């Protein structure tokens, strides 16, 4: 019988595979170079590297960067938009804000669909949902002819006020489906039935440009898995922290944007709670970027307004993660003022850092770590050799010589700038929001996170750093910890005092019926379905709303209003119990629970406190005068209860952990490395 659970996370540099055997609870991992031109090749290569027979797989979960990378690179199929006459330029008018408030000349990136490909048609629905003017069918078919001649493969249909009545959008879709068979169609009333037209149009356009690309990718991957013998559903992690099957990806492709980022956040929360830390900061440092998430009281933050590029919001619920261009492959460079900078440019997987020997000439964080001895000259268990001389040459030519520094000073400065950038990002998600980093643990993972974790923790006075058992594969683990999830909503603008409980209940029941149908379509049994009602509310006259859980009680409207007051005070530090409250939107989180892998705590061995290093090498740690002959340990040989005093380096297949002088590392019962930043820490 099938007994393997497999998760695959595709990153910018490496593709990670995490496998759990249900019969023995044994875990194994694999790490292979990513193939940006066709991510599926790296996935199948990683599955083979992990020794997985797809006939033995009971669940295959996948976090993908395909959607995110497509939005960043703008490599879309030919796309068009059909909108209400007079609203063609909503995407460029946006909301009037700027990414840089003080730079009046900095332009926002152009819309995903060019103006020449945005076509108008006369139609009108009023704010109450009354159809004032239907779709002119002759005009609609004329527009379809234009789209046919343009060779369009996907169309976003965005009519004003369609959130109140979708009749005109639905008719337009029917006509285009007749005239343009095979073309992907996205309607704003189905993708995001919400009032603000810019948010709705932007999300629908992003969904439209991604649908053929992402839909084709997941269908090809599913076919390849089935050809190999996998009989189950391919589960794709979406940005909201749940998963969806390929059947719904075509309709809601934009939900896969930030898929891989969500996986890391989920895994960070799991590791922190497992170690007894409800407050934690996840730091996922990969080859190209670093993703940072704050977990407070065991809860991941959720946002409904985020973007891959500024000015083009995606308004599906998403785990709130801060991403900066700081990874192992981030380039060190000198700006026009002569200051050393780090990132956001990256060497990526090809050509990669100079030490990869693939033609890279610019120094990166990886090159600096290799030169300083913190990182060895082999990666992925010896599958990749690193050239320390090439790293030194790149640092010498592009940093040391221009800044008149020694090689050691230059390499150390590269890492200091990178660490400062990451520490600043942590401050944004913690101190800026009223959280003291000293009350949190830092979960450092990703291929490079464990090399930088303690330095960042010291910068922020964080007392403990947790390095998971397989830091470079941790995001893949997150893919195995999620449920099938859909988020549905409907506009319902009423004063809470005037709202009718029976009408509100009827709206929720309609959402629940749709949710159950979706989950049933994805093979989730009714007994595994969990539904959570939510309500977005605001004080009368406010623009932004706050979403709270609906209280399950006979007087649920008033009890939910009370919950809104409490939530508003927590979020914004004030409440107005005497002010009228307006209901803005009704929402529903529909969750289909899936079995999760179980993890067993191991006994702590009192005899494991003095492990034997595998070798020694000279390593430079920041703040020292010179390199120190440093013990190098093989992580696989460190038993639960083992203690390692810094300076030390701990190596494994997917990552390297640096334990600087003055720090103490302990292997816990879950095989995490807990690094106490101060020797006397507990």
Q: Which residues share a beta bridge with 674?
A: 466, 666
Q: 177 is written with which tokens?
A: 């489906």
Q: Of 619, 648, 655, nearest to 286 (Cα)? A: 655
CA distances from 49 to 41, 42, 45, 225, 427 (A): 12, 10, 6, 15, 39
Domain ranges of the chain: 4-70+215-256, 74-210, 330-417, 484-592
What number is the average pLDDT over the span 198-218? 94
Q: Give SS3 for 532.
A: strand
CA distances from 248 to 234, 235, 256 (A): 12, 11, 11
In this structure, are residues 576 and 569 in contact, taking their beta carbons and an 8 Å threshold? Answer: no
- Whether 384 shows a pLDDT value over 80: the answer reads no
Percent of the chain with pLDDT strictly greater than 90: 63
Residue for token pair 């020797």: 679
The H-or-E segment that residue 466 falls in is: strand 464-467
- Whether 561 shows a pLDDT value over 80: the answer reads yes
Residue for token pair 């058992």: 469
Alpha-carbon distance of 95 to 114, in angstroms, equals 18
Residue 456: half-sphere exposure toward Cβ, Cα within 13 Å: 35
pTM of the model: 0.86
Alpha-carbon distance of 206 to 24, in angstroms, equals 43
Domains 4-70+215-256 and 484-592 share a fold: no
- Whether 651 shows a pLDDT value over 70: the answer reads yes
How many angstroms separate the first and last alpha carbons of the chain? 45
In this structure, are residues 63 and 260 in contact, taking their beta carbons and an 8 Å threshold? Answer: yes
pLDDT at residue 31 in the model: 84
Q: Which tens digit of pLDDT belongs to each residue from 45-103?
A: 999 999 999 999 988 999 888 888 888 888 889 999 999 999 999 999 988 888 888 88
Average pLDDT value for the chain: 91
Q: Which residue has the higher pLDDT, 157 or 478?
A: 157
* E-strand stretches of 437-596: 441-445, 464-467, 484-495, 529-539, 546-549, 581-592
Give residue 575's pLDDT band: very low, low, confident or very high (50, 70, 90): very high
Protein fold of 484-592: Dna Ligase; domain 1 (3.30.1490)
- Whether 526 shows a pLDDT value over 90: the answer reads no
pLDDT at residue 186 in the model: 96
The H-or-E segment that residue 494 falls in is: strand 484-495
In this structure, are residues 209 and 154 in contact, taking their beta carbons and an 8 Å threshold? Answer: yes
pLDDT at residue 107 in the model: 83
Q: What is the DSSP code string of 631-654?
A: EEEEGGGPPTT-EEESSEEEE-SS
The H-or-E segment that residue 67 falls in is: helix 66-73
Alpha-carbon distance of 90 to 207, in angstroms, equals 16
Alpha-carbon distance of 335 to 111, in angstroms, equals 29
Alpha-carbon distance of 190 to 162, in angstroms, equals 9
Q: Give SS3 for 514.
A: helix
Residue 36: half-sphere exposure toward Cβ, Cα within 13 Å: 14
pLDDT at residue 103 in the model: 84
Protein fold of 4-70+215-256: Nucleotidyltransferase; domain 5 (3.30.420)
């Amino acid at each position: 019988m099938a007994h393997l659970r497999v998760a695959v996370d595709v990153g910018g540099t490496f593709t990670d595979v995490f496998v759990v055997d249900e019969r023995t609870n044994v875990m194994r991992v694999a790490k292979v170079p990513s193939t940006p031109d066709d991510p599926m090749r790296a996935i199948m290569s990683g599955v083979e590297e992990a020794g997985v027979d797809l006939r033995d797989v009971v669940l295959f979960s996948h976090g993908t960067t395909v959607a995110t990378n497509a939005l960043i690179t703008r490599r879309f199929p030919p796309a068009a938009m059909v909108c209400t006459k007079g609203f063609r330029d909503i995407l460029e008018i946006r909301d009037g804000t700027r990414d840089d408030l003080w730079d009046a000349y900095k332009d926002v990136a152009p819309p995903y669909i060019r103006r020449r490909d945005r076509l108008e048609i006369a139609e009108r629905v009023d704010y109450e949902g009354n159809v004032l003017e239907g779709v002119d069918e002759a005009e609609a078919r004329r527009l379809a002819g234009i789209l046919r001649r343009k060779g369009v493969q996907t169309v976003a249909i965005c009519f004003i006020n369609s959130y109140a009545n979708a009749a005109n959008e639905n008719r337009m879709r029917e006509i285009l489906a007749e005239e343009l068979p095979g073309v992907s169609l996205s309607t704003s009333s189905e993708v995001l039935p919400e009032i603000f037209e810019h948010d709705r149009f932007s999300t629908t356009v992003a969904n439209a440009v991604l649908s053929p690309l992402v839909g084709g990718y997941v269908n090809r991957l599913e076919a390849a898995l089935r050809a190999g013998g996998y009989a189950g559903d391919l589960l794709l992690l979406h940005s909201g922290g749940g998963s969806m099957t390929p059947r719904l990806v075509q309709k809601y492709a934009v939900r896969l944007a930030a898929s891989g980022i969500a996986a890391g956040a989920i895994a960070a929360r799991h590791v922190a709670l497992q170690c007894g830390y409800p407050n934690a900061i996840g730091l996922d440092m990969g080859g190209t970027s670093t993703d940072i998430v704050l977990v407070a009281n065991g809860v991941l933050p959720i946002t409904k307004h985020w973007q891959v590029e500024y000015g083009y919001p995606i308004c599906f619920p998403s785990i709130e993660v801060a991403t900066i261009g700081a990874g192992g492959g981030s380039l060190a460079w000198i700006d026009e003022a002569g200051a050393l900078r780090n990132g956001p440019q990256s060497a990526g997987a090809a050509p990669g850092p100079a030490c990869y020997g693939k033609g890279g000439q610019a120094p990166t964080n990886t090159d600096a770590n290799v030169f300083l001895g913190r990182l060895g000259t082999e990666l992925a268990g010896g599958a990749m050799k690193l050239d320390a001389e090439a790293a030194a040459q790149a640092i010498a030519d592009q940093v040391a010589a221009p800044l008149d520094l020694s090689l050691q000073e230059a390499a150390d400065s590269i890492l200091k700038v990178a660490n400062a950038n990451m520490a600043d990002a942590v401050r944004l998600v913690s101190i800026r929001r009223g959280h003291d980093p000293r009350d949190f643990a830092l979960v450092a993972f990703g291929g490079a996170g464990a090399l930088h974790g303690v330095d960042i923790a010291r910068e922020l006075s964080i007392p403990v750093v947790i390095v998971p058992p397989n830091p470079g594969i941790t995001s893949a683990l997150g893919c195995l910890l999620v449920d099938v999830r859909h988020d549905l909503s409907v506009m319902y603008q009423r004063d809470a005092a005037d709202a009718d409980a029976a009408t509100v209940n009827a709206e929720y029941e309609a959402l629940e019926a749709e949710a159950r149908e979706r989950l049933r379509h994805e093979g989730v049994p009714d007994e595994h379905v969990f539904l959570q009602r939510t309500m977005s509310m605001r004080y009368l006259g406010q623009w932004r709303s706050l979403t709270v859980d609906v209280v399950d009680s006979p007087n649920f409207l008033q009890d939910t209003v009370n919950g809104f007051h409490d939530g508003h005070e927590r979020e914004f530090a004030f409440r107005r119990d005497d002010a009228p409250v307006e209901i803005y939107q009704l929402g529903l989180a529909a969750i289909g629970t899936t079995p999760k892998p179980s993890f067993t705590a191991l006994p702590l061995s009192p005899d494991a406190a003095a492990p034997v290093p595998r070798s020694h090498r000279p390593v430079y740690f920041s703040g020292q005068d010179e390199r120190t002959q440093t013990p190098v340990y093989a992580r696989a040989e460190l038993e639960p209860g083992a203690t390692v005093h810094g300076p030390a380096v701990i190596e494994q297949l997917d990552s390297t952990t640096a334990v600087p002088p003055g720090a103490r590392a302990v292997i816990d019962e879950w095989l995490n490395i807990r690094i106490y930043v101060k020797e006397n820490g507990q």
